[in-house]
């Protein structure tokens, strides 16, 4: 049986949305039901925050990294033809919110097969 794709859903909404999802997941587990698939949700307070966080340069970075697979920040900066310091800053920001993962060897990767938005 094929593994389900790992999906990250971006949503606009306040903290209550995240708390409601947490409560529903908690109740499912308390009732002995399994977690709901490989979907993860990242909520942003509003559209301006989303646009500041996911700039066109960061979208390109995510896309290139997803295509290439795990890379060092240096390798990614070379592929993007961007300054190492700026790529490092972008990677750090994207890793903080879970869009990029860091491996023990220092490589970075995009852990999501699909990123979709719900606004």
Containing domain of residue 78, as a range?
7-118
* Number of domains the chain is built from: 1
Rg of the chain in Å (alpha carbons): 16
- pLDDT for 52-78, tens place per residue? 888 999 999 999 999 999 999 999 999
- pTM of the predicted model as reported, rounded to 2 decimal places: 0.74
| Distance in angstroms (rounded) separating the CA atoms of residues 20 and 18 | 5
> What integer is the mean pLDDT of 15-39?
66
Domain membership of residue 113 (yes or no) is yes
Whether 87 and 52 have beta carbons less than 8 Å apart is answered as no
We report the CATH number of the domain holding residue 41 as 1.10.10.10
φ/ψ region of 13 (left if φ > 0, alpha if ψ in -120 to 50, else beta) reads: left
């Amino acid at each position: 049986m094929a593994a389900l794709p790992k999906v990250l859903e971006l949503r606009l909404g306040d903290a209550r949305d995240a708390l409601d999802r947490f409560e529903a997941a908690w109740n499912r587990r308390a009732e002995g039901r399994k977690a709901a698939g490989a979907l993860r949700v990242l909520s942003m307070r509003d559209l301006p925050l989303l646009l500041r966080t996911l700039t066109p340069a960061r979208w390109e970075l995510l896309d290139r990294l997803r295509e290439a697979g795990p890379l060092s920040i240096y390798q990614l900066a070379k592929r993007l033809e961007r300054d190492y310091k700026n790529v490092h800053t972008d990677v750090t920001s994207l890793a903080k919110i879970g869009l990029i993962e860091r491996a023990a060897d220092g490589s970075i990767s995009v852990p999501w097969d699909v990123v979709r938005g719900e606004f």
